[in-house]
Chains A and B, each alone.
Chain A
Amino acid sequence: MYSNCVSYPPVPITATPCLLDLVPTRICAGFPSPAEDLGAERIDLSKVLITHPQATFLQRVSGHSMKDAGIFDNDILVIDRAIKPRHKMIVVAVVDGEFTVKQLFQRAGRVKLQAANPTYPDIVPKEGQTIEIWGVVTSCIKQFPSA
């Protein structure tokens, strides 16, 4: 079933707009689209990943506290500072002057940062302290060894 799905090597991504070849084949499921061969403009990954270019920054992940959310050590986070942080969103927060990626818990007047790994404790602000959210994580990019 997958015989005509060619595998392409991963393409390194730069911080600038990045052009990828529009691959004319798709994973075979359902009927082929008659418009499939009409693709003209290359897919621009940054167009898909970045909604607010002025507010978007990249950070590299170090650590394992978010593994159950699919965020692993050495991944790259796409962070959009224009998005208002809400309950359950994955955010980068500033804790003790350092960036940390966690899931935001915001319910019934309580705010805390939750890890997505049972072995890591929640980060709860002390009395009178507020959690400073730096930005909302919208994507996570993984790069595999390709050379």
Chain B
Amino acid sequence: MYALVDGNNFYVSCERVFRPSLNGLPVVVLSNNDGCAIARSNEAKALGIAMGAPWFQIKHLAEDAGLVALSANFALYGDMSDRMMSLAAGLGPAQEIYSIDESFIDLSGVKGDLVERSHKIRARILQWVGIPCGIGIGPTKTLAKLANHIAKTAERKPGVYPDKLSQVCNLAALDQAERDAVYAATAAGEVWGVGRQISKQLQAGGIHTVLDLMKLDPATVRSKWNVVLERTVRELQGTPCIDLDHSPAAKKEIACTRSFGRPITEQHHIAEAVTEFASRAAEKVRKQHSQAGQVLVFIRTSPFRKDAQYSRSMVTPLRHPSADTTCIVKAALQGLNHIFKQGFNYAKAGVMLLDLQPDTNQQAELDLEDGDSEEDRTKLMTAMDTLNQRFGKGTVLTASAGLDGMRREWSMKQLRRTPAYTTRWDDMPVARA
């Protein structure tokens, strides 16, 4: 048996803990660069704001309907997530943190009433951390995720599902008739792993609800669609096909890309950004004990602007696979040198590390060129990571990242960012006395 614990409107809920005046108001949290809505309060959902709605399209609601928009404050969300996850872990013996606001809990061996236990954990997360959660329970991860959707919908839209399923929904505790009624009231597109494309195809084939979908024969599903959907159908039928993922596999590709706060035209500004992205990517690759064989760098203009368009990328192979920041930065900047063209308004750049391999396979080479042999900089890199971890991001950096701190030309636009209430001494909330 699995449970899925998921924070409601997580980013908005985090903000509301420290700004209680936002309770009851329509609130959205905007993505990097204040581009589009990535979290919506129930009141904002009621205004008809869709997930991912571009800010310029909903901007007018700030005046018309009192909509409050905030820039994403990931330092805050990360800390609140950590608190929430460690309390959610109390539900069962094993936990998989699936995303910043969702975790699966393995309930095997847990005795007693699971619904009652879940309500207690939920109440504890709400009181201790201030985040409201939904908890779904089912015999497979897909069913737990579906149950979670039902628990949240039952709370938000009374009447759609029986009231007792609000906040906590254990599908396994329902009798067959109740379960079928719930499945019949839920669109097939709500099922985990059923994308928009497949959902359309299913509808065309007369499969509208979860009940329709789970009645399909898995073998037919595989021949008509694919193994992924087959697995989903089996999971809906109660056969676990997806295990709890305790330690996510090392990534096969590491990317660090971002849009600029405003259009950038100068190569040296882009070089600063590329240096930082390459450094971040190098840090990530060291963290998972891999090294990269190739470095891809790309730059592009904004397709949303009407000016001249340009987009190019380049892959630079490294002489030896490496996790060395300076080496990866050098390759990225070399690539940039080749693809950069004067005269465009650049909107985005990125660095991707490809051809990743474990850092245990060191490939040795005869030292033929005098003075050009690469020294082992593992110790330097470890020191750099330790310093940046202890004293904050960017304490030690490659000089080509630029030294203007947050005032750099390409920095993100985050006009509505709330303070880092829980992670910065100077950003602490204020209590009136």
In the complex formed, the residue of B with least CB distance to A64 is B433
Given contacts A66-B433, A81-B128, A81-B130, are A98 and B422 in contact (CB under 8 A)?
no
Within 8 A of A (CB), among B32-79: none
Q: Is there an interface contact between A59 and B128, defined as CB atoms closer than 8 Å?
A: no
User: Does residue A105 face the partner (Cβ distance < 8 Å to B)?
Assistant: no
Stretch in B140-148, B343-351, B424-432 with 4+ CB within 8 Å of A: B424-432
Known: A60-B429, A99-B430, A102-B433. 6 other contacts (CB 8 A): A55-B83, A55-B127, A62-B430, A65-B432, A81-B130, A94-B20
B428 and A76 form a contact (CB under 8 A)? yes
Asked if B431 and A92 make an inter-chain contact with CB atoms under 8 angstroms apart, the answer reads yes
B342 at the interface (CB under 8 A from A): no
Q: Is B86 an interface residue (CB 8 A)?
A: yes
Report chain A residues within 8 Å CB of B23: 97
Instruction: Give A63 to B430 CA distance when docked, in angstroms.
Output: 10
Spell out B's residues near A (CB within 8 Å).
19-21, 23, 83-84, 86-87, 124, 127-130, 421-425, 428-433
On whether the beta carbons of B425 and A14 are closer than 8 Å, the reply is yes
Q: Check A59/B127 contact, CB under 8 A, given A98-B21, A101-B433.
A: no
Q: Which residue of B lies closest to A82 (CB)?
A: B128
A114 to B231, CA, bound (A): 60
Query: Could you write out 30 A-B pairs with CB less than 8 Å apart?
Result: A14-B425, A54-B83, A54-B87, A54-B128, A55-B128, A57-B421, A57-B422, A57-B429, A60-B429, A60-B431, A61-B431, A63-B432, A64-B433, A65-B432, A66-B433, A71-B433, A73-B433, A81-B128, A81-B130, A94-B20, A97-B23, A98-B20, A98-B432, A99-B429, A99-B432, A100-B431, A100-B433, A101-B431, A101-B432, A115-B433
* A59-B433 contact in complex given A15-B423, A81-B128, A81-B130, C-beta closer than 8 Å: no
Query: Given known contacts A59-B431, A101-B432, is B127 in contact with A81 (CB within 8 Å)?
Result: yes
Check A55 against B429 for contact (C-beta < 8 Å).
Answer: no
Whether A62 contacts B130 in the complex (CB less than 8 A), given A15-B423, A76-B428, A97-B20, comes out as no
Most chain B CB atoms below 10 A, which of A59, A63, A65: A59
Is the Cβ of B129 less than 8 Å from the Cβ of A54?
yes
Report B-chain residues with C-beta under 8 Å of the C-beta of A63.
432-433
**B121: min CB distance to chain A, Å:** 12
Q: How many residues of A contact B (CB 8 A)?
A: 34
Expressed in whole angstroms, the Cα–Cα distance for A65 and B431 within the complex equals 11
Q: Is A122 engaged at the interface, CB distance under 8 Å to the other chain?
A: no
Which one of B84, B129, B423, B431 has the highest number of Cβ atoms from chain A below 10 Å of its Cβ? B431
A64 to B433, CA, bound (A): 6
Alpha-carbon distance A96/B20, docked complex (angstroms): 9
Question: In the complex, what's the smallest C-beta–C-beta distance from B346 to chain A, in angstroms?
Answer: 38
- Indicate if A52 sits at the interface (CB-CB under 8 A): yes
Contact B428 A82 (CB under 8 A): no
- Say yes or no: A81 contacts B129, CB within 8 Å: yes
Interchain CB contact under 8 A, B128 and A97: no
Closest to B87 in A: A54
Say whether A132 faces chain B, with CB atoms less than 8 Å apart.
yes
Q: How far is the CA of A132 from the CA of B17 in the complex (A)?
A: 12
Residue A58 at the chain B interface, CB threshold 8 Å: yes
Q: In the bound complex, how far is the Cα of B16 from the Cα of A132, in angstroms?
A: 14
On chain B, the residues within 8 Å of A104 by CB distance are: none
Nearest residue (CB) in A for B428 is: A60
Q: For B431, what are the chain A residues with a Cβ–Cβ distance below 8 Å?
A: 59-62, 77, 92, 99-101
Docked CA distance A57–B432 (Å) = 16
The residue of chain B having its C-beta at the shortest distance from the C-beta of A132 within the complex is B20
- Contact partners of A61 in chain B: CB under 8 A: 430-431, 433
Report the bound CA distance from A25 to B429 in whole Å: 36
CB distance from A115 to the nearest CB of B (A): 8
* CB nearest to A137 among chain B residues: B431
Cα of A115 to Cα of B124 in the assembled complex, Å: 29
Closest to A134 in B: B20
For B20, the chain A residues whose CB sits under 8 A away are 94, 97-99, 132, 134
CA–CA, A96 and B21, complex, Å:
7
Interface string of A28-65 (1 = CB under 8 A from B): 00000000000000000000000011110111111111
In chain A, what residue has the closest Cβ to B25? A97
Q: Which residues of B contact A71 (CB under 8 A)?
A: 433
CB proximity of A130 to chain B, nearest CB, Å: 13
The 4 lowest CB-CB distance pairs between A and B, nearest first, are A97-B21, A55-B128, A63-B433, A54-B83
Among A62, A81, A92: residue with most chain B CB under 10 A: A81
CB distance from A116 to the nearest CB of B (A): 9
List A62-92 residues whose CB lies under 8 Å from chain B: 62-66, 71, 73, 76-77, 81-82, 92
Docked CA distance A98–B431 (Å): 8
Distance (whole angstroms) from the CB of B292 to the closest CB of chain A: 31
Shortest C-beta distance, A87 to chain B (Å), equals 19
Chain B: CB-nearest residue to A120: B433
Closest to A58 in B: B428
Tell me, rounded to whole Å, the shortest Cβ–Cβ distance linking A58 to chain B.
5
Residues of B within 8 A of A102 (CB): 433
Docked pose: A60 CA to B427 CA in angstroms? 9
Given A52-B128, A54-B86, decide whether A59 and B429 contact each other with a Cβ distance below 8 A: yes
Q: Is A62 within 8 A of B422, CB to CB?
A: no
